[in-house]
Amino acid sequence: MSVEGPLSNIPDDVIEYLLDQRKRERELTIEKELLKELIKKVQDIMKMLEGRDDGLPCTISAGNVYQMSTVQQVRDNLAANLSVTMVLFVKAHRKLLRIQSDLRQDYHTVLETVHNSGTTN
């Protein structure tokens, strides 16, 4: 990557690192949004089961596979799924916050370096 002017003083590995971090930030943002959608979907299904007798039979499906279950079993499985998904969401959120904080600091350092190199020339 060729950069003209004061930015040319920044080593290529620093620029590559920053680009990699931005890519990771985008990936985590997408992951977090997908997990958020999954949490919403599970919560919506759980709302559909509110007020229903735990022992009632119900049919669950995934694709073309159907299975008989009870409301209680479905609730338990949804609660477990929701718990795992929430943990993954929180982990992705924390990683995203950490990367964003690091990026802000790194950009500040790069801008400071560019500014200082521009004033010394």
Q: Which of 41, 74, 42, 43 is nearest to 59 (CA)?
A: 74
CATH number at residue 111: 1.10.287.370
Structure confidence at residue 74 (pLDDT): 95
36: its two tokens: 């958020």
* pLDDT of amino acid 91: 98
Tell me the pLDDT tens digit for each residue of 11-43. 888 889 999 999 999 999 999 999 999 999 999
Q: Is residue 99 part of a domain?
A: yes
Residue 48 lies in a domain: yes
Q: Which pLDDT score is estimated for 51?
A: 93
Question: 8 and 116 in contact (C-beta within 8 Å)?
Answer: no
For the chain, counts of helices (H) and of strands (E):
2, 2
Residue 7 maps to a domain: no
Domain that holds residue 70: 17-119
- Residues 54, 55, 57, 60: is their CA dihedral positive or negative? positive
What's at 56, amino acid-wise?
Answer: L
Is pLDDT above 60 for 48?
A: yes
Q: What are the tens digits of pLDDT across the range 96-107?
A: 999 999 999 998
Q: What is the pTM of this model?
A: 0.79
